[in-house]
Amino acid sequence: MNEAGAWTEERVELLKKLWSDGLSASQIAAELGSVTRNAVIGKVHRLGLSGRAKNPAAASTPRAAAPRKAPTRSPSHPMGGPSSNPGAMTRGANALAPQYAPEPEAQAEPEPAPSEDVVIPFSERVTIMDLREYMCRWPMGDPTTAEFRFCGSRSQTGLPYCSYHSRIAYQPAADRRRDRSKVRA
DNA sequence: CCCTGATTCGC
DNA sequence: GCGAATCAGG
C-alpha cells in the first residue's frame, strides 16, 4: 500500500519519467495524485533534476545565478482552520484533470470540418475590447466589418491561441505528447 | 485572467 | 526531506 503523499520508488521513477518526457509539473502532479505541482517541483529539485532538457555543461541558470531579491518572508498563514477543505485551495494541480475525452467514435463524424470557424460558441467570441491576454486571438470574420470577433477561448500559456486554434496555426504534423494515453495498471 | 518553473524556509 | 508560499516570468 503506497501512502499517498509519500515519495515511493515507483512515484519517483514515474516522476522522473514524466518530467524528462516533457510534462509540466502540474500535469505530473495531477497524474501522480495526492500531490501538488509545488511538491513535484520541490522533489524534482531535490532529486537534482530540474533544467530537464538542459545541458549540464552549460549550467549557469540565469535564475539560479540571479540574486533576485531579499525575500523577507512573513510566515503569517492563518489558513489553519477547522474547515479543512482539500479542494478549496487546489487550483493549479487540479486544474488539469487526468481524465481525457477519448474521442466519441460512436458519433458518425469521422472527420471534423476543416473550417476554422467550425465549432466556436458565439458566447465565447469577443471583440477586441473584451479581449484579454489569456484569450485566444484567433480572428474570425472580416476585420473591416463590425462583425469581426476573436475566438476568446482560453489561450495556452505563452501562445496567442487556444489549444484548438493552436493546432490550426501551427501544424507540425506531429502530435505533442500532451494527450498521449497512459497505460498504467 | 491563466499558466510555467525556481526558490525560500517553516515544518 | 517535504511542500506551501512566494517569486518571477510567459
- The pTM of the full predicted model, rounded to 2 decimals, is 0.51
Q: Which nucleotide is nearest to A36 (CA to C1')?
A: C3
For residue A58, pLDDT beyond 70: no
DSSP A25-79: HHHHHHHH-S--HHHHHHHHHHTT--SSS--TTT---HHHH------------TT
In the listed set A19, A35, A54, which residue is the last one of a domain according to the structure? A54
CB-strand contact A94/B, under 7 Å: no
Q: What is the mean pLDDT of chain A?
A: 66
| CA–C1' gap, A73 and C6, in angstroms | 8
Report if residue A10 sits inside a domain: yes
Higher pLDDT, A22 or A55: A22
Report if residue A3 sits inside a domain: yes
Contact A49, A19 (CB under 8 A): yes
For residue A171, pLDDT beyond 70: no
In the listed set A9, A39, A54, which residue is the last one of a domain according to the structure? A54
Report if residue A100 sits inside a domain: no
Q: How many domains does chain A have?
A: 2
Higher pLDDT, A30 or A177: A30
Angle at A155 between CA A172 and CA A38, to 5 degrees: 100
Average pLDDT over residues A130-145: 84
Residue nearest to nucleotide B2 (CA to C1'): A134
Report if residue A59 sits inside a domain: no
Report if residue A29 sits inside a domain: yes
Residues near strand C (C-beta below 7 A) are A 5, 7, 35-36, 38-39, 41-43, 46, 68-69, 71, 73-74, 76-77, 79, 89, 134, 157-158
**What pLDDT is stored for residue A91 in this prediction?**
45
Q: How far is CA A18 from CA A24, A64, A88, A94, A151, in A?
A: 8, 23, 27, 17, 32
**Which residues constitute the domain of residue A165?**
112-171
Report if residue A77 sits inside a domain: no
Average pLDDT over residues A162-183: 58
For residue A17, the tally of other CB atoms under 10 A from its CB is 11
